Each structure stands twice: as C-alpha cells, then as structure tokens.
Amino acid sequence: MDYTNYIVRDPKICGGTAVVKGTRIPIRTILGSLAEGDRVEDILHSFPTLTEEAIWALIAFAADSAAEDIPAMVLAV
C-alpha cells in the first residue's frame, strides 16, 4: 500500500508532527489507539474525518518503519 498519500509532515501543522493528510490527527494517536485494542470502527467513530483506507495506510507505514528500525535478531546457542 502506498501510504505516502495519507501522511504529511508540515512545520505549520501540529509543529511538524506526522499527521493524517487533510487533518490535524497525529498518526501516533491512531497507531496508539490500535495498539490499545481499539477497533477500526471505533477509531472511525471517534475521528469521522478519517477513512478506513487511511488507517490501513498508517498500519503499512508503521510496518515499514518497524522493519527499518528493528535490529536483526541474533540467536544465542
């Protein structure tokens, strides 16, 4: 999924925090809600300007970000 159409970082919006494009909703807010167990439907209800596609794009962004930041695991013998 191409998440670049859903995320923007602008110093004039929320101090440059990454937000969902067209909103002032920080992506960390949505990802945090998902991590706490909120359902997509709950998030859409809480943030009616979001779309389900935007939420999936944020998840894809988080997955790509984690893949770059997680060090390779070394197994101890």
Indicate the domain borders of the chain.
3-69
pLDDT tens, residue by residue, 19-64: 999 999 999 999 999 999 999 999 999 999 999 999 999 999 998 8
50 close to 23: Cβ distance less than 8 angstroms: yes
pTM over 0.85: no
Helix %, strand %, coil % of the chain (to 5):
50, 5, 40
The pLDDT value given to residue 70: 59
Q: Does domain 3-69 have CATH number 1.10.10.10?
A: yes
Confidence grade of residue 69 (pLDDT, cut at 50, 70, 90) = low
Identify which has the larger pLDDT, 73 or 47. 47
